[in-house]
């Protein structure tokens, strides 16, 4: 009485072009994500890795904790950093975030 009869619709032929057009925004979103976020991050990681590998004795560095000092010892995973006259600390190589210009630390 209140419910009308339901009729099945005819199935369309699965248009290939419409399915490709529906996937296009998703593909474009991944392409934009790659060029805006992933690629620059990979470039930064590569630059950081090469900076850490190029460290030498006498370089003045800043760590992620804010410690500034001069590299006195080099190891595979650790660095000896002199932060004051006669005061040396060991830090992880990965903790170095910046190599400072010569003469920054006095």
pLDDT in tens, the chain (106 residues): 677 776 666 555 556 778 878 889 999 999 999 999 999 999 999 999 999 999 999 999 999 999 999 999 999 999 999 999 999 999 999 999 999 999 888 7
Query: Residue 83: CB partners within 8 Å, gap ≥ 6?
Result: 67, 68, 69, 89
Q: Buried b / exposed e across 30-67, counting CB within 10 Å, b at 16+?
A: eeeeeeeeeeeeeeeeeeeeeebeeeeeebbbbbeeee
Model pTM score: 0.69
Which CATH number applies to 56-106: 1.10.3470, 2.30.30, 1.10.540, 1.10.8? 2.30.30
Residue 92 · residue 80 · CB < 8 Å? no
């Amino acid at each position: 009485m209140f419910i009308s009869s339901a009729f099945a619709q005819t199935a369309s032929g699965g248009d290939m072009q419409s399915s490709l057009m529906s996937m296009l925004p998703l593909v474009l979103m991944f392409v934009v994500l790659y060029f805006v976020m992933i690629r620059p991050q990979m470039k930064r990681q590569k630059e950081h890795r090469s900076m850490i590998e190029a460290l030498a004795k006498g370089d003045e560095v800043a760590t992620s904790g804010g410690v500034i000092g001069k590299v006195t010892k080099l190891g595979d995973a650790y660095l000896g950093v002199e932060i004051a006259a006669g005061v040396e600390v060991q830090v992880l190589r990965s903790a170095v975030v910046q190599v400072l210009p010569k003469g920054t630390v006095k």
